Structure formats: structure tokens, C-alpha cells
Structure 1
Amino acid sequence: MKDMVQFGIRIRDLRKMNNYSLRELGERSGVSYSFINSIENNRFSPSRETVIALADALRIAEKDELLLLAGFAPTEEESLDGLSGEGLDEVDDPDVSLFFKDFKNAPKERRDEMLRFWNFIKEQQQNRTPDSQQ
């Protein structure tokens, strides 16, 4: 389930935190400033590529948050981005897919809880040393 109102609010907040005008964010992301305005005002839903372009332009490390708010599950590559260790290129876990399927169908309160959990897991993985146990 998409939460486009929250997505638009989050984009506007991030844009303002970076002190970007609509035009400046448009130039940095390659997305039309009028389309960004429409996203912020909940008139249009962005594509996955647009969400990623905006996240990159806003210099947000956690693209997952924006992807999830826009109704897209991060790919395994995006989800594992920034992690270190052996075998990450070969991760094939159906439980990860199930997690995002459940997320998509969950009510807002549950999605918020699941997002906090997902971010906690990613943070723990980033703080792991290669020789530590899981």
C-alpha cells in the first residue's frame, strides 16, 4: 500500500533540509520541478526510477524509506547496499520477499513498525565486523 501523502511530505522536508528550491532539486535529480511539486502535493505518483533519482539528489543514504513510502520494495541489491562481507552478491532469501509483501499489505502503523525493524537490521549489519557472529 502506497503512502503518497507521507511520501510527498518526506520529499518536501528533505528538500527543505537541503535548502533546495524545487528548480534546484529538479536540476540535481533530472526530474522536472513541476513534477516534484506535484509529488509533494500528492497529485502524481512517481516511478521507481524517479524515487531513486530524488533520493540520490537529496543525498539520502536510506533509499529504502522512500521506496517503501512510494509503494516499492527495495531490490536485494538496494537493500544490501553499503553492507560488507562475503557472499552478499549471492543472497537469495524468500523471507526477504515475504517481508516486503507483508509490508505492502500492512496498515500504516504496522508498516511504520516494520520499517523501524528493517532499519534496525540494516544498522546492525553495517556495524558488524567480518569476523563477528550473527
Structure 2
Amino acid sequence: MDDEKQLGINIRELRKLRLLTQDELAERAGFSLQHVGDIERGKANPTLSCLLKLAEVLNVAVSDFFVQKDQAPLDDEGIRQCLLDFIGKAGKKHLSIFYTLYKGMR
């Protein structure tokens, strides 16, 4: 499964756990219903600011969007190693996204 699709599935599950419809999430986050639907289906690649707003509305950390069900939470060193592994294998598209996230967090 690709990263965008897994991200969308995770966001959908968190939304449903909070008993929100896509329309309610879109309204609270200030996005269109189409955009929220596209994110949840893995058809849109949300920006860092979009993920931050969704996390705020859902009352979760942005990192919660990236946890897979079969994964145990990682400690700081585990996270660091995962990121280094990802960067080492990433193609141009993912490196560009990662760099954008990095710039937004500085």
C-alpha cells in the first residue's frame, strides 16, 4: 500500500473514532469536503499546514497519522533511524515532500 493511501486510511479512522463526518471535519478544518475525501482516499498529498490543522481538529499529534496498526510506538532513536532509512531510500518526490516538511518545522 502506498504512503498516501495509508495516511488517508489513518485519518479516516481517527475521524470516525471521533464520530465526525467528512463534512464536519472539512468544515471545522476550513477545507472543502472534496479535499478531505481526496486525502482519505489517498488521492491528495496534504501539506504540513493541512496535516497540522487536521490534527488540531481531531485532537491528535500529526505523528498519529503515520502509525500503522501493526507497529509499536517508537522511541526517539527508533524514529530517528526510521527517518534516516526513509531518506536513504526516498525518490525525488518523497525527498521534496520531506524537505518541505522540514522547512515548515524550522
* Fold match by TM threshold 0.5: yes
User: Cα RMSD between the aligned structures?
Assistant: 2.8
Could you say which residue in structure 2 is the equivalent of 1:19?
19
Is the 2:5–2:43 contact (alpha carbons within 8 Å) kept by the matching residues of 1?
A: no
Cα shift readout 1:2-59 (whole Å, capped 9, x = no counterpart): 7111100001101111111111001111121210100111111101100111011111
Percent of aligned pairs with the same amino acid = 27
1:47 has 2:29 as partner: no
Gaps of 5+ in 1: 70-94, 108-134
The two structures have a TM-score, normalised by structure 2, of: 0.61
Within the alignment, does 1:104 sit opposite 2:86 as a pair? yes
Q: SS of 2:28's equivalent?
A: helix
**Which one-letter code corresponds to 1:54 in the other structure?**
L
Higher relative contact order (CA 8 A, sep 6+): 2
Q: In 2 relative to 1, CA 106–56 (structure 1 residues): closer, same or farther, beyond 3 Å?
A: farther
The answer to which structure has the higher helix fraction is: 2
- Runs of 4+ deviating beyond 2 Å: 98-101, 103-107
Q: How far does residue 101 in structure 1 lie from its aligned partner after superposition?
A: 4.2
**Counterpart for residue 116 of structure 1:** none
Structure 2 stretches of 5 or more lacking a match? 68-76, 90-106
TM-score normalised over the length of structure 1: 0.49
Q: Aligned pairs, how many?
A: 79
* 2:62 corresponding residue in structure 1: 63
What are the Cα deviations for residues 85-125 of structure 1, in whole angstroms up to 9, with x where unaligned?
xxxxxxxxxx9xx6474153378xxxxxxxxxxxxxxxxxx
